[in-house]
Structure 1
Amino acid sequence: MCGIAGIFHCGTPKPVDPERVARMSDALAHRGPDGSGVWTGPGVGLGHRRLSIIDIEGSPQPMHSADGRTTIVFNGEIYNFRELRRELEGQGAQFRTDGDTEVILAAWSRWGIDCLNRLHGMFAFALYDAHRRELVLARDRLGVKPLFTAQLSDGSVAFASELKGLLAHPLLRREADPHAIDDYLAWGYVPDHRSILKGVGKLPAGHYQILRHDAPPAAPVQWWDIDFSRRRGGSTADLSAELLHHMREAVRSRMIADVPLGAFLSGGVDSSAVVALMAESSADPVTTCSIGFDVAALDETQYAEKVARLFATDHHARSVDPDDFSAVDRIAGMFDEPFADASALPTWRVCQLARENVTVALSGDGADEAFAGYRRQVFHAREEQARGIIPGGLRGPLFGGLGAIWPKADWAPRPLRAKTTLLSLAADGADGYARAVGVVPPEARERLYSDRFGRELDGYRAEDAFTRLMREAPARNGLDRAQYADLKFWLPGDILTKVDRTSMNVGLEAREPLLDHRLIEFAAGLPQRQRIRGRQGKWLLKHTMRRYLPDDVLFRPKQGFVTPIAQWLRGPLAGDARAIATGARLARTGWFDPERLSRIAESHISGRSDNSRLLWQLLMLDRSLDNLGISG
């Protein structure tokens, strides 16, 4: 795992200052503390920071092909590099190193851009081909590894693994994109099709982009997509056997490392499944790491300890004080862009614990998206059944009217919190699911904004990109479309961003075996009944893992990392909540109605309502603006 950065001139190949590239890559030193390198040629400069995982003493980057034609900087892991190496050696290729980076160079030389389809792994790389006078930027299928890009005023394109790498370039403008503010309020993060800064983009997952010296930047090209439109046949027993085969292969391939390796273990289905299959494949005890809370209602460590005992792992656990809000500024700095998923803090803590024991950790991320494990997906499948029965002309007035008058009762028992469901049923499937996934719905955002900012948005609506993704999905039904959007939008924007930044902050490589693309493709073809039965999501996965895991691990309600932000914002962070409306940088932007923000803060602090999610979003936005030096 590493950090990459670089500069490429489209048009006249102007000289690239190696010191400028070095500053960009050094801003990513946390991603690669084990080494660094810079290379420049006519109109191109590549920088690299290395975290040594495979071929520790060899494989320095930037790396050049033996004939000097191509140069690469690469972030990630290619899990099938040894198989590719044997194939390429059989076709005459010769290798000087024992790692995966040189395999990408040889694969490019042999197959060109088609080499991407042969790479199994997580990656973002920049490869310069001197003969073609072009730079290829590429990102893995599901967006595990990030890549930011920016067109600059001197005609160059800069790129980096994180926004902070681009921020080290003096020509980068620091002007906020108002559409990104609406995106952030809608989702709690800035999705991959946008950046918080104007002029900055992110190469989409499963895409490549070719830059040439003699042409303006070409648009990114999609080289991989998920297809939910084709169903697999077979009995449950056959499908279960095939699933287990894919999971075993995915876990085994990700256990290749020349450094200590372990796993995150929350005690939930997905991380427990990964640990079970690691233990099956390892002669030595698996190192596992868990984070718990001192408050019993928030703590799941008993389940993690149960799984650790079951598989005799070398288990490491640590309790986190639920009043540990001291890392809020540190978290904001990790992400550069505003990021309001409060589970980032405990995720960072478990990464810190893991890094004390290992350099690589396997996680269980991806199974909820692929196998329909989220409660919202189960609800959506049931709502789609209702939409199929009740005509749209009746649903809109009936459920829309009820939803409009139903109180927003976040404090109430779940069955009484019907407002979101009613409004969802009034809409079509895509709009309804967008409402279920989102944090602040359109009508609530509109009330927050100042008149001036509303005019700046000029009718922009953050949900449109999400609903368009659902409506255009290669899918058969509403559940397919929801999962497609989760895999393409939510997964890279929230889940993978969270894991990448928190793990890389401490120099830890996180690997996601349940996001192996062959496993994802298998899951996308499953009949709906193999994904959801009754109120139970991830049905086939849980059925398959019953040979390894007890039912109280497989079938207990999903909890996930919880952070007590509501209490923080009534206690130690109450002053910060009040400042959002008055003295903070956010208040000086003029984007929001200060009286409205003040009422929201005071209502929460007094305990009259729970506005913690919105206040946390606004607080993290304020911290991000501070870090970026943006005032509006």
Structure 2
Amino acid sequence: MCGLSGIFSSRNTELEAVVRLMNTSLIHRGPDDSGVWIDGNVGIALGHRRLAIVDLSEAGHQPMHSNCGRFVIVFNGEIYNHAELRQALHDDGLISTGLKGHSDTEVLLAGLASWGVEKTLNASVGMFAFALWDRQEQVLTLGRDRMGEKPLYYGWQDDILLFGSELKAIKAFPAFRAEIDRNALTLLLRHNCIPAPYSIYKGIAKLQSGHYVVLPLTDLSAAKAAIPQPYWRLNDAVAKGLADPFTGSPETATDLLEAQLRSSIGQQMLADVPVGAFLSGGVDSSAVVALMQTQSTQAVRTFTIGFDEGGFDEAVHAKAVSRHLDTQHTELYVRPQDAAAVIPRLSSMYCEPFSDSSQIPTFLVSQLAGQELKVVLSGDGGDELFGGYNRYLSAKKIWSKMQHVPSFARQASASLLRSVSPTTWDSLFNLAKPLLPSRFHVSGPGDKAHKLANVLKLADGHEFYLQLNSHWSDPASVVIGGEEPPTMFTDASRWPKTDSFEHWMMAMDAQTYMSDDIMVKLDRASMAASIEGRVPMLDHRVVELAWRMPLDLKIRNGQGKWLLRQVLYRHVPKELIERPKQGFGIPLGEWLRGSLREWAESLLDEARLVRDGYFRPEPIRKMWSEHLQGRGNWQSHLWTILMFQAWLDEQ
């Protein structure tokens, strides 16, 4: 895991000074080593910060030159099958003279030099972002992994090209014009994040997952007009899997999934430094840890955090799973003051506004793990691949009933639901809970009741899904001068073709929420703690296998992740896992009314909102008042505004 940066400017004589500034801004991503390479005649400079994981020797130093001398690379990530690629290159007679070390970067570079970009990327298993400079053709190629685990920003300012792992590297360019894109800001309010290819700054894009872009720098007009090309698309994997579905028994399906997960996890455990795992006690992380433990000669190191507030503490479940698997477990209970201490760091940590509030516990557990090791495996991805989110279980059922109800009746029901505050709904639910079947025991019933009220007026299932994934439902009415740009949510030509509404939602989530939110959160939080987060569920071979599995092996008897659970129950007793799904959240609503109130009030001050000129203050102040009075739980809406305001303070 590392950080990369670079600049192209045919007229800039200060290339070395600039690329060193860019490189220094990424020191948290690579505290072990740094390097720059400059070709002043052409006007290109590459920078690299290294977190040494594989081949800790000088042979892994970057920027790295190919054996033929034609190519130079800076690379961030891991190629998990680099040993197999090395053998394939050797068998093809392409590295008969041998390589200098055993790093995955060296193997990737040899493949790119010998096989070309598409063949090498399709042969590679890993998470990565890279910049490859062809000295002969003077062409720069930028590439990113299939599922968007590693980030890469790039863009032009006049005739100067800037690129880097994070926006802070691009902003380190002394003449950078940091013009906020108000249209992208509307996307932040809707989604809690800014989806690719947009960024918070005009003229700077995120390279989309599964894409590469070729920039011929001898022809600036062609380079500026270059369009990223896909080498792998999830929609293709979905279509291929659904066209060739698995038809065997559930037992055989469980065998296949366990074998692939075991292989993927085994590859991701390989490192020249200690490796551990995050453990929440849920299905995904427990499955990862269980399969790690079967392949380890020592107790796997596991890490979790907990909260004293009821409804948010999963540490007790993690401890129970740890005891059964006999892991070396570390836990930390988080107090409001611990979260408050992290908040001032968030705007710098995430480099552009980002408001998934689970960013706080993700950083805290990364920081905890970082005290002992450099690599952790995460269970992210299981929900999107195997049908774990509650919306997969309820959305189709709710929508199929809703569409048969007359509009006036839906509107009346929505008014009734919203007439009762979320806190009152929670209290009523707790009173009735002993009388309800276990399948109705859900977390946050008050919030869910208000979300249901918001969707009762919608016209079709796709609008329903967008509403479920929206925070501010009309962000353009809040952002002054902002107009919501098209995204995958609104462009039907980009939608996956599936056999069910549930599968459609899962495929959409994997390409939006997963890559733009979950992976951003994990990458920035782990990198801020200078550790590498690996996600074995997102090995594309696991992804492709999951899409061959019929829906009834994912969602069965009103329960998601059925097939993944069968793998897990071979290693962990069912009773340690079975409980209502609980997200990786924090008691943010309570904290905003309590320990964080003064901080929030200063950022939501009406005079300040008017002075900054980005938001219309009326709806924000109304929500803040209702939240403080307990008449609404607007924590996610308010957190988005707060994170932008805090980020703005850093600029």
Shift of 1:616: 1.7
Q: Within 5 Å, give how 1:113-512 maps onto structure 2.
A: 113=117, 114-153=119-158, 155-213=159-217, 214=219, 215-217=222-224, 218-226=226-234, 227-229=237-239, 230=242, 231-324=245-338, 325-383=340-398, 385-386=400-401, 390=403, 399=410, 402-403=413-414, 406-407=417-418, 409-411=421-423, 412-413=425-426, 417-421=448-452, 423-424=454-455, 426-442=458-474, 445=475, 448-449=478-479, 453=480, 456-457=481-482, 460-461=483-484, 465-468=488-491, 472-512=495-535
Q: Given residue 552 of structure 1, which amino acid in structure 2 is its aligned partner? A: E
Shift of 1:583: 6.2
Shift of 1:96: 1.2
SS in 2 for 1:543: helix
Q: Given residue 559 of structure 2, which amino acid in structure 1 is its aligned partner? A: Q
Question: Following the alignment from structure 1 to structure 2, what is the Cα–Cα distance between the partners of residues 591 and 124?
Answer: 33
Shift of 1:464: 5.3
SS in 2 for 1:484: helix
Q: Deviations over 1:240-265 (max 9, x none)?
A: 11111111011101010000111111
Question: Following the alignment from structure 1 to structure 2, what is the Cα–Cα distance between the partners of residues 535 and 337?
Answer: 38
Matching of residue 4 in structure 1 with residue 8 in structure 2: no
Segment of structure 1 superposing worse, 104-113 or 572-581: 572-581
Shift of 1:470: 8.3
TM-score by length of 1: 0.92
SS in 2 for 1:98: coil
Shift of 1:85: 0.4
SS in 2 for 1:274: helix
Q: Return closer, same or farther for 1:531/1:88 CA change in 2, 3 Å cut-off.
A: same
Segment of structure 1 superposing worse, 488-497 or 560-569: 560-569
Q: Return closer, same or farther for 1:576/1:320 CA change in 2, 3 Å cut-off.
A: closer
Q: Return closer, same or farther for 1:464/1:98 CA change in 2, 3 Å cut-off.
A: closer
Q: How many residues get paired? A: 612
Question: Following the alignment from structure 2 to structure 1, what is the Cα–Cα distance between the partners of residues 616 and 86?
Answer: 59
Q: Given residue 388 of structure 2, which amino acid in structure 1 is its aligned partner? A: G
SS in 1 for 2:168: helix
Shift of 1:618: 1.2
Question: Following the alignment from structure 1 to structure 2, what is the Cα–Cα distance between the partners of residues 298 and 423?
Answer: 25
Is this contact kept in 2: 1:7–1:16, CA < 8 A?
no
SS in 2 for 1:502: helix
In structure 1, what is the equivalent of residue 436 of structure 2?
none
Gaps of 5+ in 2: 427-443
Matching of residue 522 in structure 1 with residue 545 in structure 2: yes
Shift of 1:210: 0.5
Is this contact kept in 2: 1:124–1:145, CA < 8 A?
yes
Q: Given residue 605 of structure 1, which amino acid in structure 2 is its aligned partner? A: L
Q: Sequence identity, in percent? A: 39
TM-score by length of 2: 0.89
Q: Given residue 259 of structure 2, which amino acid in structure 1 is its aligned partner? A: H
SS in 1 for 2:78: strand
Is this contact kept in 1: 2:422–2:449, CA < 8 A?
no
In structure 1, what is the equivalent of residue 567 of structure 2?
544
In structure 1, what is the equivalent of residue 439 of structure 2?
none
Q: Return closer, same or farther for 1:571/1:421 CA change in 2, 3 Å cut-off.
A: closer
Shift of 1:296: 4.6
Q: Given residue 414 of structure 2, which amino acid in structure 1 is its aligned partner? A: G
Question: Following the alignment from structure 2 to structure 1, what is the Cα–Cα distance between the partners of residues 485 and 587?
Answer: 28
Segment of structure 1 superposing worse, 127-136 or 407-416: 407-416
Question: Following the alignment from structure 1 to structure 2, what is the Cα–Cα distance between the partners of residues 378 and 500?
Answer: 29
- For 1:566, which of 589, 594, 603 is the aligned residue? 589
Question: Following the alignment from structure 2 to structure 1, what is the Cα–Cα distance between the partners of residues 120 and 494?
Answer: 31
Question: Following the alignment from structure 2 to structure 1, what is the Cα–Cα distance between the partners of residues 494 and 92?
Answer: 44
Question: Following the alignment from structure 2 to structure 1, what is the Cα–Cα distance between the partners of residues 139 and 13?
Answer: 15
Q: Given residue 288 of structure 1, which amino acid in structure 2 is its aligned partner? A: T
Shift of 1:237: 1.5
- For 1:615, which of 635, 638, 641 is the aligned residue? 638
SS in 1 for 2:559: coil
Question: Following the alignment from structure 1 to structure 2, what is the Cα–Cα distance between the partners of residues 625 and 238?
Answer: 53
Question: Following the alignment from structure 2 to structure 1, what is the Cα–Cα distance between the partners of residues 322 and 607?
Answer: 45
Q: Given residue 333 of structure 1, which amino acid in structure 2 is its aligned partner? A: S
Shift of 1:273: 0.6
Shift of 1:400: 5.4
Is this contact kept in 2: 1:6–1:46, CA < 8 A?
yes
Is this contact kept in 1: 2:3–2:30, CA < 8 A?
yes
Q: Given residue 208 of structure 2, which amino acid in structure 1 is its aligned partner? A: P
Is this contact kept in 1: 2:604–2:642, CA < 8 A?
no
SS in 2 for 1:125: strand
Question: Following the alignment from structure 1 to structure 2, what is the Cα–Cα distance between the partners of residues 133 and 162?
Answer: 24
Shift of 1:298: 2.4
Segment of structure 1 superposing worse, 553-562 or 470-479: 470-479
Q: Return closer, same or farther for 1:503/1:540 CA change in 2, 3 Å cut-off.
A: same
Is this contact kept in 2: 1:3–1:49, CA < 8 A?
yes
Is this contact kept in 2: 1:265–1:290, CA < 8 A?
yes
Q: Return closer, same or farther for 1:415/1:78 CA change in 2, 3 Å cut-off.
A: closer
Q: Given residue 510 of structure 1, which amino acid in structure 2 is its aligned partner? A: G
Is this contact kept in 2: 1:471–1:481, CA < 8 A?
no
Q: Return closer, same or farther for 1:107/1:471 CA change in 2, 3 Å cut-off.
A: closer
SS in 2 for 1:145: coil
Is this contact kept in 2: 1:384–1:478, CA < 8 A?
no
SS in 2 for 1:465: coil
Shift of 1:419: 4.8
Q: Return closer, same or farther for 1:178/1:506 CA change in 2, 3 Å cut-off.
A: same
- For 1:35, which of 33, 36, 55 is the aligned residue? 33
Question: Following the alignment from structure 1 to structure 2, what is the Cα–Cα distance between the partners of residues 167 and 175?
Answer: 11
SS in 1 for 2:163: strand
Segment of structure 1 superposing worse, 323-332 or 429-438: 323-332
Q: Deviations over 1:423-470 (max 9, x none)?
A: 53633222111111222212xx46545xxx2xx23xx34685314268
Shift of 1:372: 1.1
Shift of 1:595: 3.6
Q: Given residue 506 of structure 1, which amino acid in structure 2 is its aligned partner? A: A
Is this contact kept in 1: 2:609–2:616, CA < 8 A?
no
Gaps of 5+ in 1: none
Segment of structure 1 superposing worse, 470-479 or 230-239: 470-479
Shift of 1:621: 1.0
Question: Following the alignment from structure 2 to structure 1, what is the Cα–Cα distance between the partners of residues 608 and 122?
Answer: 46
Q: Deviations over 1:345-368 (max 9, x none)?
A: 111111111111111111101111
Shift of 1:537: 0.7
